[in-house]
Amino acid sequence: MQSTNKVITLDKIKKGEEFLITRFENKQLKCLSTRLGICEGQTFKCFYRCFGGPIILKKKFQEIAIGKKLAKSVQVKVV
């Protein structure tokens, strides 16, 4: 089990886990994500993890795939 207080990167999140985004290290990703409705301080669910590849976040009906390399630059906290 992940510790609920520990900050990890998005690529470490498991399928089905809910998490809070604490920080985007990549400025461009931050802007692109903000447009799509993914912001720091919001909670999401890991909808799916492609084997060795992108993480799919789900927010209502919106599914957003984030490549593994980018996911490593997003800090999150499991909630």
Give whichever of 6 and 15 is closer to other proteins, judged by the CB atom.
15
- Residue 29 interacts with other proteins (CB under 8 A): yes or no: yes
Q: How far is the CB of 53 from other proteins (least distance, A)?
A: 4
Alpha-carbon 45 to chain mean position: 8
Rule CB under 8 A: say whether 21 interacts with other proteins. Answer: no
Among 30, 46, 76, 78, binds other proteins (CB under 8 A): 30
Which residue's structure tokens are 């980018």? 70
Structure-derived torsion over alpha carbons of residues 38, 79, 71, 75, reported in degrees to the nearest 10: 90
Asked whether position 20 contacts other proteins by CB under 8 A, the answer is no
Residues 33, 62, 27: CA angle, nearest 5 degrees: 5
Task: Work out which of 27, 43, 46, 77 binds other proteins, going by CB under 8 A.
Answer: 27
